[in-house]
């Protein structure tokens, strides 16, 4: 038996370290770990016992309660059948923790009403809510499938699979954020995958209903768990944004962006980004561009994160699939300036077109245009000074807020030299693809303005002057070089500008020696 | 620890032995076996307690042995209150009783020598900590017993030690001795061990995910072992959490403040 010694104390808990018992481990910390239970391993410690099927059958005569399918800190979920409609539903029973609090009922109905309005294909639909007997409940769409945690346990996601589920989550979150609803508890357990592989977000706003974000002034204790288990109960700290765990009342939609960043990190690496963590590409073989996305979502200062989840979505899409070509983008205002005309080629962006959005992702900013917001789509010509023969661009006129904005883009064509006709044909292809996508998304074709009515800015005077200057310099240089040649000019010689260029001798392409057909190795 | 012993201990964890012992008042064969297992598990704390009480004497081991022998063969459980019962409390009471008895007997044998058996001098070659050498002076108990907090602390340590040794034995039996040596450090989670964990995972040629799962399993098993162990010493599962909290208290509260206080029991 080990004797207590006047050994140094444990840095973690301050207890006297007793080396001989558990090697270098502090026995007090070990016992605490036992007391904290599974809560410290990411599973909430739930002192509440969910009601039995019998209890529920009495309270919900209109339902046939089939089984308990899940439980957690925010309640228990039962699979049930609605007798009248014959459809399966998920019945969520909230723990009666706060039921006695008079403000709970009011908050519950307010939040639940907002949730019921969240009608999105990637959000679990709320059919009904209320109180039945002693139970506060939410009746929801039943998803036949697994949650992301279960899916991750079953097998590691490939980076591609991981990325594929992120955009729909972003869309659903953007949809909710636009309506002022923040999820506040995004974690793998709340992301459901149905049999068709569709992802659906569950438990929207439940955290808020359960008062996890109540300010201390309202006097509602966050937890009624006894003694030592207290700090492991609330929320899901590992997925929580720093500002959320510190001042819950201040957390806004950017807290969801952080949580999704944690989920994405975990999907990619199988680990949680705790403490000083490494970028995902150091751990797994993935596109390094993902590091930037994940790390930006995980910025501890909300201002440094993506400001909208739509922006994050676009960035993920850029890595996920290179649908669109690289484009040069500008606006009519930019194109009217010297800078805009001379340095158009500096403003490169990755174009992405999917069934809902047209996006241009640049290093610093991302422009996301919902297809439904596009009012006009036309082809125009760049000012002659930029290309004397007339280079085409696609003009997108769209509404953002109450403003009408216009964006011009030209796809980049790979290759050193592309004939103008090919180039403009490529522009036309992009134009048609975009037009078709808008028609599919909105059911109507956008307006089209002929190029001559587009009001393209004329060539900038500064550019013309610059070109004139270049022309003069060029002539001077040519003249000087001719004088330096000092070649005796025969009387009969024609002026240099009419000398026929000697025909270029094009070497025949090197012939690849054909292999004799029987040279292959027999297998 | 040899294999058969670890097997027996693992069995001992599964049943709440103390409940069994209490129910049968120590009469049935089953109850006797249960009591034997319990005594074996808590031999250490008792010996530490006796050793401290008999500081300066060489008879601690013999006394402890005698105490357990009497406990197991005697009918000492007759008077135990069935309703309030923790084996820890019972055992401490029994030891104190035994030691006072012993003291009386010794004094009777010495017959009027008037000399207290307590000595403040440490006998050379006998390993004791510095704290222990001084404690007899601090003890306020009229019988000169070490404080209860000391015993409780030893008890908590015994439980942790038992859990660890069973965990180790299980890993060794499963041919994962080396893995256990690396993983055991993660029985206590800490904030800043991401990089070290990754390194450890590599040293075991495990993926980070697999490593995490292994740590999770080890923690889970350790929790189970400790909880079972505690459960076997209390009367009923509802007392488990309370006892666990109490034992954490016993380990974390500064020992000095307890050493000078002796709570009457």
Alpha carbon of B264 to those of B68, B79, B149: distances in Å? Answer: 23, 19, 11
Nearest chain B Cα distance for residue A445, angstroms? 50
Q: Which of A1, A4, A30 comes nearest B188 by C-beta? A: A30
Chain B CB contacts of A277 under 8 Å are 194
The counts of H helices and E strands in chain A are: 15, 15
Angle at B80 between CA B78 and CA B86, to 5 degrees: 140
Q: What pLDDT shows up at residue B264?
A: 36
Q: What pLDDT shows up at residue A101?
A: 67
Mean pLDDT over each residue of chain A, to the nearest integer: 75
Structure tokens at A209: 């209903």
Q: What pLDDT shows up at residue B80?
A: 59
Nearest chain B Cα distance for residue A270, angstroms? 5
Chain A CB contacts of B226 under 8 Å are 30-31, 34
Exposure letters A492-522 (e unless 16+ CB within 10 A, then b) = eeeeeeeeeeeeeeeeeeeeeeeeeeeeeee
Q: Which ipTM did the prediction report?
A: 0.72
The counts of H helices and E strands in chain B are: 13, 0
pLDDT tens by residue, B29-44: 777 788 888 888 888 8
Chain B CB contacts of A25 under 8 Å are 164, 184-185, 187-188
Chain A CB contacts of B184 under 8 Å are 23, 25
Chain A CB contacts of B131 under 8 Å are 4-6
The CA distance from B207 to B198, in Å, is: 9
Nearest chain B Cα distance for residue A261, angstroms? 17
For residues B66-83, give the mean pLDDT: 69
Chain B CB contacts of A21 under 8 Å are 157, 160-161, 164
The CA distance from A269 to A390, in Å, is: 50
Q: What pLDDT shows up at residue A508?
A: 52
Active site residue A392: no
The CA distance from A357 to A354, in Å, is: 6
Q: Which of B150, B154, B187 comes nearest A1 by C-beta? A: B154
Q: What pLDDT shows up at residue A122?
A: 92
Q: What pLDDT shows up at residue B212?
A: 79
Chain A positions contacting chain B at CB under 8 Å are 1-6, 12-16, 18, 21-35, 37-38, 40-41, 156, 226-228, 269-271, 274-278, 283
Say yes or no to pLDDT of B5 above 50: no
More confident residue, B41 or B27: B41
Cα radius of gyration rounded to whole Å, chain A: 33
The CA distance from A495 to A481, in Å, is: 15
Chain B residue with Cα closest to A10: B252
> Could you count the other beta carbons within 10 Å of the beta carbon of residue A109?
15
Query: Measured between CB atoms, does B126 come within 8 Å of chain A?
Result: no
Q: Tell me which residues of chain B, numbers 184 to 243, contact chain A at a CB-CB cutoff of 8 Å.
A: 184-185, 187-195, 198, 207-209, 212, 216, 219-220, 222-223, 226-227, 241
Whether residues B195 and A276 touch (CB distance < 8 A) is answered with yes
The CA distance from A73 to A190, in Å, is: 12
Whether residues B222 and A21 touch (CB distance < 8 A) is answered with no
Alpha carbon of A464 to those of A154, A396, A455, A459: distances in Å? Answer: 65, 27, 19, 7
Q: What pLDDT shows up at residue A189?
A: 87
More confident residue, B118 or B229: B229
Chain B CB contacts of A1 under 8 Å are 44-45, 47-48, 154, 157-158, 161
Q: Which of A21, A33, A227 comes nearest B219 by C-beta? A: A33
CB B150 within 8 A of CB B136: no
The CA distance from A310 to A293, in Å, is: 12
Whether residues A226 and B241 touch (CB distance < 8 A) is answered with yes
The residues near A244 (Cβ < 8 Å, ≥ 6 apart) are: A184, A251, A255, A258
How many residues in total does chain B contain? 265
Q: What tens-digit pLDDT sequence spans chain A (523 residues)?
A: 444 444 456 666 666 655 556 667 788 888 887 877 654 443 333 356 788 888 888 889 999 999 988 876 677 889 999 999 989 999 998 877 666 666 777 878 888 888 888 899 999 999 998 888 888 899 999 998 888 988 888 877 777 788 888 989 999 999 999 888 888 889 898 899 988 878 999 888 776 776 543 333 333 333 332 222 222 233 456 788 877 766 555 678 999 999 999 999 998 888 888 766 788 888 877 777 788 899 999 988 888 999 999 889 888 887 766 445 778 888 888 877 777 777 777 777 777 776 677 878 776 566 778 888 898 999 888 877 776 677 888 899 998 878 888 888 888 776 666 677 778 888 888 888 888 888 888 888 888 888 777 766 666 677 778 778 888 888 888 888 888 776 555 554 444 444 444 444 455 555 554 444 444 444 3
Whether residues B194 and A24 touch (CB distance < 8 A) is answered with no
Nearest chain A Cα distance for residue B246, angstroms? 11
Whether residues A270 and B209 touch (CB distance < 8 A) is answered with yes
3-state secondary structure of A362: coil
Say yes or no to pLDDT of B171 above 60: yes
Chain A residue with Cα closest to B162: A21
Q: What pLDDT shows up at residue A401?
A: 78
For the sheet with A199-201, list strands across it.
A145-147, A191-194, A199-201
Whether residues B227 and A31 touch (CB distance < 8 A) is answered with no
Residue B211: name the closest of B198, B193, B224 by CA: B198
Q: Number of CB pairs < 8 Å for A and B?
A: 129
Beta bridge partners of B234: B86
pLDDT tens by residue, B192-215: 556 677 777 888 888 777 887 888
Nearest chain B Cα distance for residue A156, angstroms? 9
Q: Which of A5, A31, A226 comes nearest B129 by C-beta? A: A5
**Alpha helices in A325-389, H assignment, sequence order:** 332-335, 338-342
Instruction: Given the residues A128, A178, A185, A500, select the one marked as catalytic.
Output: A185
Chain A CB contacts of B135 under 8 Å are none
Q: Which of B185, B191, B207 comes nearest A270 by C-beta? A: B207
Outline where DSSP puts E strands in B171-221.
none
Q: What is the DSSP string of A385-430?
A: TT-TT--EEEEEEEEETTEEEEEEEEE---SS---HHHHHHHHHHH
Q: Which of B45, B192, B207 comes nearest A275 by C-beta? A: B192
Predicted TM-score (pTM) of the model is 0.43
Say yes or no to pLDDT of B179 above 90: no
Which helix (H) or strand (E) is A209 found in, with range? helix A206-209
Nearest chain B Cα distance for residue A391, angstroms? 53
CB B260 within 8 A of CB B162: no
Is residue A443 packed enough to be buried (19+ CB in 10 Å), middle (13-18) or exposed (0-12)?
exposed
Say yes or no to pLDDT of B227 above 80: yes
The residues near B130 (Cβ < 8 Å, ≥ 6 apart) are: A5, A6
3-state secondary structure of A94: coil
Whether residues B190 and A156 touch (CB distance < 8 A) is answered with no
For residues B121-148, give the mean pLDDT: 50
């Amino acid at each position: 038996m080990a004797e207590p010694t006047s050994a140094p104390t444990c840095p973690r808990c301050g207890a006297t370290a007793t080396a001989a018992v558990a090697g270098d481990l502090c026995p007090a910390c070990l016992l605490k770990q036992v007391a904290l239970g599974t809560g410290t391993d990411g599973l909430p410690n739930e002192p509440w016992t969910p009601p039995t099927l019998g209890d529920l059958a009495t309270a919900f005569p209109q339902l046939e309660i089939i089984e308990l399918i899940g439980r957690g800190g925010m309640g228990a979920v039962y699979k049930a059948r609605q007798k009248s409609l014959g459809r399966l539903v998920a019945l969520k029973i909230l723990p009666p923790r706060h039921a006695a609090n008079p403000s709970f009922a009011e908050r519950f109905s307010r939040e639940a009403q907002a949730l019921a309005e969240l009608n999105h294909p990637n959000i679990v639909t709320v059919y009904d809510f209320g109180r039945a007997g002693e139970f506060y409940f939410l009746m929801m769409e039943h998803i036949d499938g697994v949650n992301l945690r279960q899916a991750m346990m079953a097998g590691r996601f490939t980076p591609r699979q991981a990325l594929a589920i992120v955009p729909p989550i972003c869309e659903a979150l953007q949809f909710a954020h636009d309506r002022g609803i923040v999820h506040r508890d995004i974690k793998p357990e709340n992301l459901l995958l149905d049999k068709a592989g569709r992802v659906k977000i569950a438990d929207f706003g439940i955290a808020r209903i359960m008062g996890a974000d109540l300010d201390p002034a309202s006097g509602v204790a966050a937890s009624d768990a006894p003694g030592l288990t207290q700090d492991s109960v609330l929320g899901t700290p590992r997925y929580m944004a720093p500002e959320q765990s510190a001042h819950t009342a201040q957390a806004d939609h950017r807290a969801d962006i952080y949580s999704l960043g944690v989920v994405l990190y975990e999907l990619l690496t199988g680990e949680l980004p705790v403490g000083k963590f490494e970028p995902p590409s150091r751990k797994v073989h993935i596109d390094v561009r993902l590091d930037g996305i994940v790390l930006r979502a995980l910025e501890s200062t909300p201002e440094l994160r993506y400001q909208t989840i739509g922006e994050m979505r676009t960035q993920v899409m850029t890595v996920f699939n290179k649908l669109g070509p690289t484009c040069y983008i500008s606006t009519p205002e930019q194109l009217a300036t010297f800078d805009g005309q001379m340095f158009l080629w500096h403003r490169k962006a990755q174009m992405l077109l999917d069934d809902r959005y047209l996006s241009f992702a640049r290093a610093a900013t991302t422009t996301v245009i919902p297809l439904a917001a596009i009012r006009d789509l036309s082809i125009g010509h760049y000012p002659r000074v930029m290309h004397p023969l007339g280079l085409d661009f696609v003009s997108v006129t769209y509404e953002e807020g109450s403003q009408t904005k216009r964006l011009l883009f030209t796809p980049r064509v790979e290759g050193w030299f592309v004939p103008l006709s090919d180039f403009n044909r490529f522009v036309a292809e992009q134009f048609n693809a975009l037009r078709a996508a808008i028609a599919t998304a909105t059911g109507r074709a956008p307006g089209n303005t002929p190029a001559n009515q587009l009001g393209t800015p004329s060539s900038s005077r500064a550019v013309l002057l610059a070109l004139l200057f270049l022309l003069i310099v060029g002539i001077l240089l040519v003249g000087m070089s001719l004088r330096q040649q000092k070649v005796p000019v025969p009387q009969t010689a024609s002026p240099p500008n009419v000398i026929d260029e000697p025909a270029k001798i094009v070497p025949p392409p090197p012939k690849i020696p054909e292999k004799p057909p029987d040279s292959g190795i027999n297998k | 620890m040899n294999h058969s012993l670890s097997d027996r201990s693992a069995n001992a964890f599964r049943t709440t032995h103390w409940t069994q012992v209490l129910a049968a008042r120590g009469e049935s064969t089953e109850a006797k076996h249960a009591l034997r297992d319990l005594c074996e598990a808590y031999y250490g704390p008792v010996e530490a307690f006796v050793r401290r009480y008999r500081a300066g004497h060489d008879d601690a081991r013999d006394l402890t042995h005698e105490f357990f022998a009497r406990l197991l063969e005697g009918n000492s459980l007759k008077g135990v209150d069935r309703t309030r019962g923790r084996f820890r409390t019972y055992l401490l009471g029994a030891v104190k009783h035994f030691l006072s008895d012993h003291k009386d007997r010794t004094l009777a044998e010495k017959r009027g020598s008037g000399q207290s058996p307590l000595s403040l001098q440490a006998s050379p070659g006998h390993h004791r900590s510095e704290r222990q050498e001084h404690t007899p002076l601090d003890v306020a108990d009229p019988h000169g017993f070490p404080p209860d907090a000391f015993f409780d602390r030893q008890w908590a340590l015994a439980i942790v030690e038992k859990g660890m040794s069973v965990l180790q034995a299980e890993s060794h039996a499963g041919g994962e001795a080396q893995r256990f040596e690396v993983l055991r450090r993660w029985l206590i989670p800490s904030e800043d061990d991401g990089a070290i964990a990754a390194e450890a995972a590599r040293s075991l040629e495990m993926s980070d995910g697999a490593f995490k799962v292994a740590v999770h399993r080890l923690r889970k098993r350790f929790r189970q072992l400790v909880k079972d162990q505690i459960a076997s010493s209390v009367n009923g599962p509802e007392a488990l959490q309370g006892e666990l909290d109490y034992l954490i208290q016993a380990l974390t509260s500064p020992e000095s403040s307890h050493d000078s206080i002796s709570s009457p029991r």
